[in-house]
Every structure is written in C-alpha cells, then in structure tokens.
Structure 1
Amino acid sequence: MTIGSAGEHTWRYRLWQHLCGAYGDPFTLVGPRETLHDPSTDEPTSYAYADPDFPRAHLAGWGEGWFHMAPLIGDAVRSCHADVLLVSLGLIDLGFYTNAEQTADNVRAFVAEARAAGPRIRTAVLPVIRNVRVEADPAFADQVARFNELLAKTVADLDTPASPLLLVPPPPSYDFHTDTYDGTHPNETGEHKIAGAFAEALWREWDLGGPYRTA
C-alpha cells in the first residue's frame, strides 16, 4: 500500500505534493529504497512512477510489515538522517505472519530500534486499514480490530516528549470497495485519503504543513 506498483503515483507522492504547497520545499522524503513493485516479475525493481519527478526514497516493501521493518528501521534512521517516520504497517503481518499481540510486540521493537538510532525521532502511525479479506474471514477481521486496539494502547504507552508517537486517525471515508483497485491497494482516491490522514495529523498535532487539499 505504501511502496506502490509500476505506473502508480503512490500516497507518498500525494503527501509530497501537499507538503511542497505548504512549505515551499525545506524538506525531503528519505529512505534506502526507491523502487516500486513490478507486477510482471513480482519483484521491487520498477522505477516506472506515474510522475517520477519527486523524492522517491522510502522504506516500504511489497508484502513487508512490522515483522520485517523492525530489524531495518535503525539502520535506515541512521543512514538517511530521518526526523519523522510515517508508518502504515500491519495488514500483511496479521494476514500471514503474526497475530495481534505478536504484531504489537513488533511495534514496540520497531520503536525501540528507531529511538536507539535517533533519540528524538518523531513517529506517526496509521492504524491498519481494513481490506476485502475482512468480508470473507471473520477471524481476520477480529485480529485487525484487536491489533488496532493494541496499537492505540502501545502508542499511548510509548509516547514521550523527547520522541513523540502519534496515532494518526484513519481516513473516515476510506472504503476498500471504491478506494482500492483490488480490494487492498489504493487507487487515486485511496492515495489521497491516506496522504490526507497523515497530513492532517501532522498539521493538527505537530504544526507541520497545513490542511490537506486534493487539488
């Protein structure tokens, strides 16, 4: 949902557009990766962004979640000098790797590694946005709801003045029937809604940027 596929803009691009309008350009997106997922090879090897003229750096992976990112985030913060982390993870964890409690443990590991690398790092976390699987798999739907409860508690427990943690309110109108192209991955409207959720939270809570506009 964050890395995007060949031919897409990504919500990262939508947020970058917004911040350029709000700030002028005293910021950049950072991360050790730049590629998109290539559906033809099922590998993260594509550079075919719909608009390649933006800072493409990120730390996202197709099929990667908290389980995968916790061991990587420390090196990424150190090497890329990140100040703010924007995190949208968890759906893949709950679908294939870990239950809600184990996933929450990986959130704690992620935060610990990020802070070890950057003691004043700020982290904004989006709860898991449900996908089409919740309609056919009630147990999975329950795990998503349980994890989001645990995530809110974890963020509250770990939040500190020196290294703030922010739980981003999910976009209220997001609907996987209309805001994705396959029941999971965001289309243009979905990209805007995810970017808008981060943008509004950053503005309201940390005075970064401004109100989100889609045009």
Structure 2
Amino acid sequence: MLRFMFVGDSTTIGSAGEHTWRYRMWEHLRDTLGGPFRIVGPRETLYDQALDAPVSLEYAPGTDPAFPRAHLAGWGEGWQHMAPLIRSAVGDHRPDVLLVSLGLIDLGFYTDADATARNASRFVAEARAADPRVRFVVLPVVPNIRADSDPAFAAEVARFNELLAKTAADLDEPRSPLLLTSPPPGYDLATDTYDGTHPLPSGEHKLAAAFAGAMSQAWGMGTEYRA
C-alpha cells in the first residue's frame, strides 16, 4: 500500500474553515490511483488565524469525514525548518512519496536563494537517511503578491526555482526519484488566493493538479487532475 506525506508551509497546513489542497489531492488519489493508499504524518491540525496557533480541527463544511488529516506542514515553516524534522518523520511514518511545497517562507524571511537550495538538498539527504528509496514530488515556489512590488524578492524566487530545478536533476536517483512539478496551471493570485498568498478553493485545485500531473506523467501514478 502506497503511503503519502504532505510537507509544506502555510499553504499546505491551511487555515480553519478551509478544505486545503491536501484534501483535493486526497480526493484525486482516492478516485484515480486504482488501489489502496494511506496519508501519513506526525501532525493533524489546521492553523487558527484568530488564535495564531495550529490548533484547529475545523475543516470546511462538506469535508468528507474519511479524509485523513495527517501531514507535516506548518505556518511559517520552510526548508530550513523541515530539514531537521524529516528524517524522524520518514522513519516513524514510513511514507513512500513526499509531496513537498516549501520555499516561500525561507525566501521571504530567512534565507537567500542559495542558502534555501542548500537546505532543500539537506532535506533530501535527511529523508534518504531514513529511507533510501523514498520518492519526492516538489513544487517550485509560487511567487506571492510581494513579488509584484519587491523586485529583489521576485529575483530571489526566480533564482531559487532555477537552483531547485538543478538540485532536482542532480539529486534524482533511480531508487529514490526526485520529481519537480510544473508551476500550477493557470494560477492567478487575484482569483486563486484570498490574500495574494493563500489559496481559495480554485487555488487548492490548481496546486493539487500540479502534483497530480507530475506523478501521472512521470510515474503513471493516478491520472491527470480533474476538478
């Protein structure tokens, strides 16, 4: 049975009252994978913006109660935060595939593109230390609204995505493939986010579509995404 783990920042953990792109991806896998699978991870909560803490279990109305809440995602966490955690998470929860969306927080608050790329490489090494056969599917950084008014930040995002593509090519291994997705198709900050960063339902579908398309095309795992 395949085991998937979501790893990410605020766009992945989601906020109270949201479905999250994790839910959209779970629905897609449920409907198209063609076999049993599990969602695993050490955390379960959503972020509660009113309380400024990851303490909510209140997903959007209509969320399927069968949805497994497990993940490794955190509001304000990036590659540098997850690299020290991923070895134990992989060892404890034994995912076969890591679905990773990280980097915006690093570039916005902590590290430049080069240091962020080094932390991404460390993340891969730490995960493989726990399981040399673990697979990675990694989303490039989607620029947020800050990039529209901060050219230096926009340049760092673009440079990091170039470095991430090189890292994926350099670290890809037959027994532990590292797959870089395409940017989410048609993603529009004005209509797919509620604040220029965090996804609305339409954005959730597009983020899930990026992962689904990559896995379907590269590995024959599931199908192309249909909202």
TM-score tier by shorter-chain length is: over 0.9
Structure 2, unaligned stretches of length 5 or more?
A: 1-10
For residues 75 and 84 of structure 1, do their structure 2 counterparts lie closer, same or farther at Cα, with a shift above 3 Å needed? same
Kindly report which structure 2 residues correspond to 1:109-120, keeping only aligned pairs within 5 A, or say none: 109-120=122-133
In 1, distance between residues paired with 2:158 and 2:131?
A: 30
Aligned partner of 2:20 in structure 1 is 10
Q: 1:27 — aligned with what? A: 37
Q: In the alignment, which of 169, 172, 182 is matched to residue 159 of structure 1?
A: 172
Structure 2 counterparts to residues 61-80 of structure 1, below 5 A: 61-80=74-93
Consecutive unaligned residues in structure 1, runs of 5 or more: none
Counting matched residue pairs gives: 214
Partner of 1:56: 69
Question: What are the within-5 Å matches in structure 2 for residues 65-144 of structure 1?
Answer: 65-144=78-157
Identity percentage of aligned residues: 67
Superposed displacement of residue 29, structure 1: 1.0
Aligned to 2:5: none
Q: Separation in 2 of the partners of 1:140 and 1:23?
A: 38
Q: Which deviations, in whole Å up to 9, do the C-alpha atoms of 1:179-202 show, x marking residues without a partner?
A: 100100000000000001100111
Give the partner amino acid of 1:40: A
SS at match of 1:124: strand
**Alignment-mate amino acid for residue 132 of structure 2:** P
Tell me what 1:171 maps to. Answer: 184
Q: Which runs of 4 or more aligned residues in structure 1 lie more than 3 Å from their structure 2 counterparts after TM superposition?
A: none
Matched-pair contact (CA < 8 Å) for 2:34–2:222: no
- Tell me the C-alpha RMSD between the 2 structures: 0.9
Name the SS for the 1:87 alignment partner.
strand
TM-score normalized with structure 1 length: 0.98
Query: How far apart are the structure 1 equivalents of 2:185 and 2:208?
Result: 13
User: Which has the larger share of strand?
Assistant: 2
1:95 CA drift (Å): 0.2
